[in-house]
Structure 1
Amino acid sequence: MNLGRLATIRIGLPLTRKKGDVHDNLYFTYKTVTLKSFSSTGALLHSELDEFIANEELNENYITQEGDILVRLREPNIAVHIDKNSSGLVVPALMAIIKPKKEINSIYLTHFINSTIAQRKLQKEVKGTTIAMIKAQDLSDLEVVVPPKQTQEKIVKIFNLANQEIDLLNQLTQLKMQLKDELFSTIITKEQNI
């Protein structure tokens, strides 16, 4: 079934149209998602959010809500799931906001979009040589495999555990690299003091 039949898909807000300034009499401050906010495991990186000052209150269509999925339109076309801790963020125009209907688990759909199967299909739709991008219509046309709800939930549990393990291994790798650097610095410092 096409993604367009399973969800509503909307492009994010062109931020320059609503850009305000703290020196304006009336302004609104929001946190906004950036292209760097997308982790390869489908999680939103809160450390990579930016602040956005708007000249008016923004339409809620451009604000994340729990259960939404954001997809980068610029390569890599990673999808992230919005949980309750990630709601209330402004989505810029380089991203699509997907609001799944009830028959599909939004976390399953995020995993599906990030799967090799979907990524290959999206790769064929990429336009542009300098900045490779897909269109919202490409997402809408994406053929999605929709197993029964119970199977979707099993897949979500398995993938969530796998992603937790990947995150832990990445953290361990970072710590090992830091330890290696500190060890090297310690040895070199001792050698210089001899």
Structure 2
Amino acid sequence: MKLSELATIKTGLVMARKQAKQPCKEVVWYKQLNLRSIHPDGYIERTYVEDFGAKETLPAEYLTQSGDIVVRLTTPYTAVLIDDEWKGVVVPSHFVIIRPDNRLLSEYLYWLLNTKKIREKLTQNVSSIMIGTIKPKSYACLDIEILSLEQQQRIARLNLLAKKELDLLERLKEQKKLYYETAIDRIQREMRDKEYEKDDKE
């Protein structure tokens, strides 16, 4: 089935139309996604999420809801799964918001959209070679294999477990890297100190 038959797919907000101009008496503040805030591994990087001042309350359709899939329209077409932590965030127009119906688990779709097979399909629909942009209808036209909810859940659980494990391993890698760098720096300082002591005695 086409993804458009299993989910609502909507382009994000054109931000300039709703941005509060200065000076403005009343500004409604939101958090806003941007391309830098979407990590290639499929999660939101808090550091890069920005504040957005709107001139009025924004329609709910442009704000993230738990269970949404937000996907880039530019390479590498990364999809992120929205959980309770990231509800109510503004989605700009260089993303699409996908809200699956009850036949399609969000966690399963999140895995599927980030697979190599799907990304290769998307690259066939690139409209601008310069920045690798695709149109929202490229997602709407994707063929989705419908598995039973139980099968979807098994895949989704394994995918999320793998991501958690890989994240822990990455953190461990960084900690080990810092540990060895610190140890080497300490040895170098000790060697320099001994050289200084030797020079003083001479």
Band of TM-score, shorter chain: over 0.9
Q: Deviations over 1:150-185 (max 9, x none)?
A: 100111111111111111111112112222322232
Tell me the percent identity. 32
Distance 1:105 1:186 in 2: 51
In 1, are the aligned partners of 2:28 and 2:55 still within 8 Å (CA)?
yes
Which blocks of at least 5 consecutive residues in structure 2 are unaligned?
196-202
Counterpart for residue 102 of structure 1: 102
Q: Deviations over 1:79-131 (max 9, x none)?
A: 11111111110001111000111110011001000011211111211221221
| 1:24 Cα offset (Å) | 1.5
Counterpart for residue 65 of structure 2: 65
In 2, are the aligned partners of 1:22 and 1:53 still within 8 Å (CA)?
no
- TM-score, structure 1 as length reference: 0.93
Aligned amino acid, residue 154 of structure 2: K
Task: Tell me, yes or no, if structure 1 residue 166 matches structure 2 residue 166.
Answer: yes
Task: Tell me, yes or no, if structure 1 residue 79 matches structure 2 residue 79.
Answer: yes
| 1:23 Cα offset (Å) | 4.4
Counterpart for residue 192 of structure 1: 192
Greater shift after overlay, 105-114 or 13-22? Answer: 13-22
Counterpart for residue 153 of structure 2: 153
Distance 1:56 1:179 in 2: 50
Distance 1:100 1:22 in 2: 38
Which blocks of at least 5 consecutive residues in structure 1 are unaligned?
none
In 2, are the aligned partners of 1:63 and 1:87 still within 8 Å (CA)?
yes
What SS does the aligned partner of 2:98 have? strand
Across the aligned residues of Structure 1 and Structure 2, the Cα RMSD in angstroms comes to 1.5
Task: Report the structure number with the largest CA radius of gyration.
Answer: 2
Runs of 4+ in 1 over 4 A off after TM superposition: none
